[in-house]
Amino acid sequence: MTGTACRVCAAPLRTFLDLGDHPLSSAFLTPAEALDGAGDTVRYRLAAGQCERCALVQLTGDVPYERRPHQGYPYHSSGSAVIREHFRAAGLHLLRTELRGARGALAVEIGRTDGVVLRTLADAGVRPLAFEPSGRCGYGAARVRPDFLTAASAREAVAAEGRARVVYAANTVCDIADLPGLFAGLDELLTADGAFVFEDPYLGEIVRRTAFDQFYDEHRWYFTATSVRALAERYGFRLTGVERLPVHGGQLRYVLTRAGRRRPAPEVAEVLAEEEARGLTAPATLDAFAGRVERVRGDLVALLEALRAAGRTVAGYGATAKSCTVATYCGLGPYLVPYVCDSTPAKQGRVTPGAHIPVRPPAAFAAPYPDYALLFAWNHADEIMAKEQAFRAAGGRWILYVPEVRVV
């Protein structure tokens, strides 16, 4: 299928995945809002395409920024102990690599990680600064600019703070609409030898795991080393580092520096060669992925319907943004998944976007335990299963759908 034009290089997009109309993944409604239908008015077409020139995978539709995130958006990136430790380690990694001997240097973070990275840097004597347009997340002692990073906002920051040795972002670049504006801001903000370090979900892992729920409105771009290399070169930068990360179902951490300032690390060539050998950006690979996605939908719905017919109880676990994609695409609702438990207080007492599955606190999971738990938060499976050993001891079983539907 042919889609619209690439938002970066204007070449044609080839649509390979169409998951239908979806609500905003952050639109957790009150029961009253769900009943009168007022909260479900914003919908968009969840489809993905690949640029025929630069190979960048992206959503083909769009959701206006003023509607994203929804006012009920309650996510905090450090709610998981594993993720808190990941961000602490990310800060230490930056200190060992980009900020060696740079006490007093400026480090900038763009996006939402609740300040764990910047606190780690500040404890080592680095000056922290955050660009956070929403103004909703605390950064401790770090100064916060309530702006997107653009050329204009970067010039203002440089006038007040000087240039930055490193700019860091986690799960943020994939959601930035104006990539040209971002790179213009980086050009203004970074020192001559500075680095832009960012990590986002890796398309290679999404395809390998058939993790179609990684596609939702807040993720606009789906990167590979191949597409990031092309993106960097378009704006005068070079991909000089890449690192595999196990969090969030598999990510890559990219290091971009100004062209001609640094030689690429050996890992860059290794990952690029692996992507070529896999045919990761080949149309046939992406079409096969879409076929597996359709098969997962059929298998999951069939399993849930069979369990209901047998009188088995099922609960969802983790009212994640990803769960919106699964529930909407698979047509799930309270009929098949009567409720979902989540530890985020702001979600409790509300219903999930579109599917209107009630969200209950964690205590409801054991009152009593269901026979089966559909694990929407599969990227935290090890942490969750370790915490919920009593569920298994009581005879409970987990339903997983990545990379295929199975009961464990």
CATH classification at residue 258:
3.40.50.150
Judgement on whether residues 208 and 147 belong to the same structural domain of the protein:
yes
Judgement on whether residues 47 and 133 belong to the same structural domain of the protein:
no
The domain of 22 spans: 2-67
Task: Using the 3D structure, point to which of 14, 45, 67 is the last residue of a domain.
Answer: 67
Judgement on whether residues 217 and 328 belong to the same structural domain of the protein:
no
User: For residue 122, what is the enclosing H or E element?
Assistant: helix 116-123
Q: Give the pLDDT confidence score for residue 127 in this predicted structure.
A: 95
Q: Give the pLDDT confidence score for residue 72 in this predicted structure.
A: 42
Task: Using the 3D structure, point to which of 67, 98, 118 is the last residue of a domain.
Answer: 67
Task: Using the 3D structure, point to which of 67, 86, 113 is the last residue of a domain.
Answer: 67
User: For residue 267, what is the enclosing H or E element?
Assistant: helix 266-278
Beta bridge partner(s), residue 253: 199, 243
The answer to whether residue 270 is domain-embedded is no
The answer to whether residue 72 is domain-embedded is no
Q: Give the pLDDT confidence score for residue 247 in this predicted structure.
A: 86
CA neighbor of 74 nearest in space, from 383, 369, 353: 353
Judgement on whether residues 54 and 86 belong to the same structural domain of the protein:
no
- One digit per residue, the tens of pLDDT, for the chain of length 408 reads 556 899 999 999 999 999 999 999 989 999 998 887 766 678 899 999 999 999 999 999 877 655 554 444 444 555 578 888 999 999 999 999 999 877 899 999 998 667 889 999 999 999 999 998 876 555 455 688 999 999 999 999 999 999 999 999 999 999 999 999 999 999 999 999 999 999 999 999 999 999 999 999 989 999 999 999 999 999 999 999 999 998 888 999 999 999 999 999 999 999 999 999 999 999 999 999 999 999 999 999 999 999 999 999 999 999 999 999 999 999 999 999 999 999 999 999 999 999 999 999 999 999 999 999 999 999 999 999 999 999 999 999 999 999 999 999
**Number of compact structural domains in the chain:** 3
Judgement on whether residues 52 and 98 belong to the same structural domain of the protein:
no
Judgement on whether residues 99 and 226 belong to the same structural domain of the protein:
yes
Judgement on whether residues 256 and 289 belong to the same structural domain of the protein:
no
Judgement on whether residues 364 and 397 belong to the same structural domain of the protein:
yes
Q: Give the pLDDT confidence score for residue 81 in this predicted structure.
A: 82
Q: Is the previous residue joined to 180 through a cis bond, with omega within 30 degrees of 0? A: no
